[in-house]
Amino acid sequence: MRCPVCDGQLKDVLIRDLGGITADITWQIHAGQCEEHGWFQTEVVSRPPREIFAVTRPFGAARRIVVDGREHFSFSTSWSDLPQQERREKVDPLDASYWQTKPLSK
Ligand SMILES: [Zn+2]
């Protein structure tokens, strides 16, 4: 997972496995820290995440982050941009390319 603000690799990445009801469902929370921008996390439930959230601490509450004077709570991923039809196909939910967030407009 990368920082949605600066695109830096997140450190101290933590993964909490929430154990799906059935074995073939991946259900995890991923959290990671950017030294400059703090903690981010997202939830994976069989599919790549549609949004990455800024949080106060790993597995903590959502927080507001201000970048260039604009407030953000969450950052949508490239997965959320795919057409619905493509999102129905079976993919690796942990494929990093789906986790890419849009560069923030300056
Ligand atoms: Zn950052």
pLDDT-derived band at 40 (thresholds 50, 70, 90) equals very high
Q: How far is the CA of 74 from the centre of ligand 1 (A)?
A: 14
Q: How far is the CA of 81 from the centre of ligand 1 (A)?
A: 22
- What mean pLDDT do residues 55-82 have? 94
35: burial class by Cβ within 10 Å (0-12, 13-18, 19+)?
A: exposed
- What mean pLDDT do residues 4-28 have? 87
Opening angle at CA 32, ends 84 and 52, nearest 5: 25
pLDDT-derived band at 21 (thresholds 50, 70, 90) equals low
- What mean pLDDT do residues 25-40 have? 94
Give residue for tokens 């949605």. Answer: 4
Q: How far is the CA of 93 from the centre of ligand 1 (A)?
A: 23
Q: How far is the CA of 9 from the centre of ligand 1 (A)?
A: 8
Instruction: Tell which wins on pLDDT, 31 or 19.
Output: 31
- Report phi then psi at 88, rounded to 5: -80, -20
- Given a cut of 90, is residue 106 above it in pLDDT? no
Q: How far is the CA of 7 from the centre of ligand 1 (A)?
A: 6
